[in-house]
Amino acid sequence: MSDEHDDAAPAAQTRHVEGLLEAKGLLDANELDRALEAFASGGSPAQGARVAARAWVDDGFRTRLLMKANDAVEELGLSMGGGIQPQRLKVVANSATEHNVIVCTLCSCYPIAMLGPSPTWYKSEAYRSRVVRDPRSVLADFGTTLPDDVHITVWDASSETRYMVLPNKPAELPEADLAAMVTRNGLIGTAVL
């Protein structure tokens, strides 16, 4: 039988361990917040993949997604919620002449609810600074070479606004097969499908 003290003990122990790890420089408090945010939102790249696949097979959904993504993803039972502050999701679509890449130049803001926790390189100083100055060479480092006539736009996220790329439709296949083709980096814009 547990009393109030016992119920509170795990939380207190967790805070104590967090404090020790932070004090020793082993844990970044923001990193932990992001992990908890991802856990709370249930975010993984599968969410973003579902959104992209639906946009490819349903023009009406695509239009709504590009206009007001927060409302559109709710049609799929998804949400940008989970945080204290509501996050605006802006989806930017690639085309034959336009390619989009996302970054947070200040820190590591990322559409966690759609993509799960961000990859380590996304948070790196090298990516954050270089992708803005020279996106083409950063994409080349990822093995992504775009034709010279494709214009690249880099979208800088903030605590209020998160971006996600809608890649070009990779094939004429049923929605579920399309969703399986979507990669995390495709939704970030460092890869094409």
Q: Which of 95, 107, 124, 159 is catalytic?
A: 107
Q: How far is the CB of 110 from Fe ion (least distance, A)?
A: 7
Among 89, 109, 138, 187, binds Fe ion (CB under 5 A): 109
Among 89, 104, 113, 164, binds Fe ion (CB under 5 A): 104
Q: Which of 2, 41, 95, 104 is catalytic?
A: 104
Residue with smaller CB distance to Fe ion, 83 or 170: 83
Question: Is position 41 annotated as part of the catalytic site?
Answer: no
Helix (H) or strand (E) holding 57: helix 45-57
Question: Is position 104 annotated as part of the catalytic site?
Answer: yes
- How many other CB atoms are found less than 10 A from the CB of residue 1? 3
Residue with smaller CB distance to Fe ion, 18 or 33: 33
Q: How far is the CB of 59 from Fe ion (least distance, A)?
A: 33
Q: Does 72 bind Fe ion (CB under 5 A)?
A: no
Q: Which of 4, 93, 99, 11 is nearest to 56 (CA)?
A: 93
Among 36, 107, 140, 180, binds Fe ion (CB under 5 A): 107
Q: How far is the CB of 149 from Fe ion (least distance, A)?
A: 31
Helix (H) or strand (E) holding 49: helix 45-57
Q: Are 89 and 76 in contact (CB under 8 A)?
A: no
Is 138 exposed, middle or buried (CB count within 10 Å of its CB: 0-12, 13-18, 19+)? Answer: buried
DSSP 8-state class, residue 95: -
Q: Give the catalytic positions in this structure.
A: 104, 107-109
